[in-house]
Structure 1
């Protein structure tokens, strides 16, 4: 029988809260003896062999952090849509290629981790959420559609190591975007005048793209150097 442990983690107010951990135990089911722990704040089940979640988790209405990374999920567990207090959802290193509409029921969701899955595009249902941070590195994404501009709350976008050939111009329409990590793709140039429109952008990581404009030496000097280069090009 797989034993879990109850630990303490900090919530966003600095208070200590209960967290269940069943980490790297090769578990293929969530132990039924957890059923009574409905008041927990965190649930960490990463590094197992889970392919589904039990329906009784719908009663875990206080869970704000759910970690299901490094499992064997091929489909997004629908019961997560009933756990509507979740703020941080980690599902990296699974075999996901799509997300259900149920994701929109997670109205408090702020951080979504989908690294190392099988996505060929960013699921459009994400565009209807209020998340602040999206991590979707190491997938097979070739294109980011204009619909991403609907994500007015997004502050951090991480799409490193995909198959993007163009920098998504729609990012210039996202007023709160502060950090963009788009390394290890196939981008050759930035759209003209892009950075001038992204007034809140503090970090833009473009390393290991076949960039021609701006050139590599400019990119390596950071966002301020790129903004300066863009202005110089416009004045020529």
Structure 2
């Protein structure tokens, strides 16, 4: 139940360092015997029955990758805010509905995975972070607020399979956005002239939306085809 193993992963300098794994053991808490492993850079606890993290994890200040997916978290564990080296945080397949301010303490955070939770909106506290990649597929999100434009570092946004009815115009104000995945929503049209403003956009996935404009056959041909269609119909 509480048996873990130590593996090796690459740190941000390309060196092999220790990572502790306790994966799909149905553990309901982090084993006390892991308490001495404070020098690890990876902690993978996915596929268990964990609902909270112990306070002693605040000493795990070198962890760069923390995987808590496939557990039973209903609240964001406060101790994560003390693990300031985290670059990749995975909390998919839990029961989260909100995030606290603690996440803004993770100044090195680059990738945040929140897929398959119970979010009805993107937590606005995320807008105060410098993350580069946000994954929040398979939730219950109905709209993306204009505040997302504050995320000047964001490069990848994945919001597939939510309940979005409008394409968020604020995305045009995000200078580094390269990839947007917004499939399986309820979007009927793109705002006029929007794509021309998104100069760094390389990938836009819109499959399985009830689109009228641009039509499906244009969408299937990629971003360049969509921009061309937009230009040809700018006066319609």
Q: Settle same-fold status: TM greater than 0.5.
A: yes
Per-residue CA deviation, residues 168-187 of structure 1 (Å, 9 max, x unaligned), is 00000000000000000000
Q: How does 1:1-236 map to 2 (within 5 A)?
A: 1-234=1-234
Number of aligned residue pairs: 236
Could you list the structure 1 runs, at least 4 aligned residues long, displaced by more than 3 angstroms after superposition. Answer: none
Q: Give TM-score scaled by structure 1 length.
A: 0.99
Provide the C-alpha distance between the structure 1 equivalents of 2:235 and 2:160, rounded to a whole number of angstroms.
31
Residue 209 of structure 1: how far off its partner (Å): 0.1
Q: Give secondary structure in 2 for the equivalent of 1:191.
A: coil
Provide the C-alpha distance between the structure 2 equivalents of 1:12 and 1:134, rounded to a whole number of angstroms.
20
Q: Give secondary structure in 1 for the equivalent of 2:233.
A: helix
Provide the C-alpha distance between the structure 2 equivalents of 1:44 and 1:225, rounded to a whole number of angstroms.
41
Provide the C-alpha distance between the structure 1 equivalents of 2:52 and 2:156, rounded to a whole number of angstroms.
29
Residue 226 of structure 1: how far off its partner (Å): 0.3
Q: Give secondary structure in 1 for the equivalent of 2:162.
A: coil
Provide the C-alpha distance between the structure 2 equivalents of 1:182 and 1:222, rounded to a whole number of angstroms.
13
Residue 126 of structure 1: how far off its partner (Å): 0.1
Per-residue CA deviation, residues 99-158 of structure 1 (Å, 9 max, x unaligned), is 001110000000000000000000000000000000000000000000000000000000
What are the ranges of 5 or more consecutive residues in structure 2 without an aligned counterpart?
none
Alpha-carbon RMSD: 0.8
Provide the C-alpha distance between the structure 2 equivalents of 1:210 and 1:143, rounded to a whole number of angstroms.
16
Provide the C-alpha distance between the structure 1 equivalents of 2:231 and 2:105, rounded to a whole number of angstroms.
43
What are the ranges of 5 or more consecutive residues in structure 1 without an aligned counterpart?
none
Residue 2 of structure 1: how far off its partner (Å): 1.3
Provide the C-alpha distance between the structure 2 equivalents of 1:21 and 1:47, rounded to a whole number of angstroms.
11
Provide the C-alpha distance between the structure 2 equivalents of 1:223 and 1:18, rounded to a whole number of angstroms.
41
Q: Give secondary structure in 2 for the equivalent of 1:234.
A: coil
Q: Give TM-score scaled by structure 2 length.
A: 0.99
